[in-house]
Amino acid sequence: YKKNYHNNIIKVYEPKNIAKEELDCLVFYTGANSVIPAEIYSNFIKTLNNYNFSVSVVTNNNEATSEFLYDIRDNYKEIIPITHSSGYVNAFKTINMQKNIKKAVFLDPVDNSNVLNFNPLKFVNNDNNKFNHLEKILVLNAEKSYKWSRIPPFIPFIPVFRLKRNDLSIEQSKIKEITIKNYGHCDIINNPYRNLMHYSRIS
């Protein structure tokens, strides 16, 4: 079903016949700063539903997302943000105001906030990645996203904007980082988009 916040549509996918209070809610921030539509991730979302997760796909409108997070704060067992790529930036801007959100999952996190909002003091100010309430962070990195290639375009898909665990202003003991071998940045999305990214050598 859909929820409308000032003409911003948040899509909610849930397994049938399970009460909300028995579900963990994954709030999904898609790639390209949450611009990529939910449909391109539909297979991934369906898999999460099969494991009895509710999945809410938010937009790149952070005000709408913040309002949505406030509305659902008491509806589920737990609310856990999950981000792909630069969706991380939107998550950071919205979950820091939510005291009830204690865990987050970042898939190949990218921080392009310097490009979107230039800050010449970023190199001495790490507050951009300071989390106020998170107690646990899981970072999953797709190995092929960071490998150099012998054929063009040579450089890794995420060369510059990769978010490293040391960039996160949180106790390092609260971060678990796992590298997923033989997978790339776009393997999470549906075909034909996934193959288009691979065969065009974009990723």
pLDDT tens-digit readout, 181-191: 988 888 899 98
Share the mean pLDDT of the chain: 87
Q: Is 60 exceeded by the pLDDT of residue 22?
A: yes
| Mean pLDDT along residues 43-69 | 97
Alpha helices, H only, the chain: 31-34, 42-50, 62-71, 87-95, 113-116, 193-199
* pLDDT of amino acid 202: 59
DSSP 56-104: EE--S-HHHHHHHHHHTTTTSSEEEEEEETTHHHHHHHHHTT-TT--EE
* pLDDT of amino acid 168: 86
* pLDDT of amino acid 159: 61
Residue 138 gets the label, from left (phi > 0), alpha (psi -120 to 50) or beta, of beta
CA angle 65, 48, 14 (to 5 degrees): 60
pLDDT tens-digit readout, 138-181: 999 998 877 766 666 566 666 667 888 888 888 899 999 999 99
Higher pLDDT, 71 or 96: 71
pLDDT tens-digit readout, 98-150: 999 999 999 999 998 877 555 555 444 445 578 889 999 999 999 887 776 66
Tokens of 48: 């999460």
| Mean pLDDT along residues 36-42 | 96
Q: Is 80 exceeded by the pLDDT of residue 199?
A: no
* pLDDT of amino acid 203: 59
Single pTM value for the model = 0.88
* pLDDT of amino acid 125: 46
pLDDT band at 54 (very low <50, low <70, confident <90, very high): very high
In this structure, of 12-21, 37-46, 152-161, 179-188, the range with the lowest mean pLDDT score is: 152-161
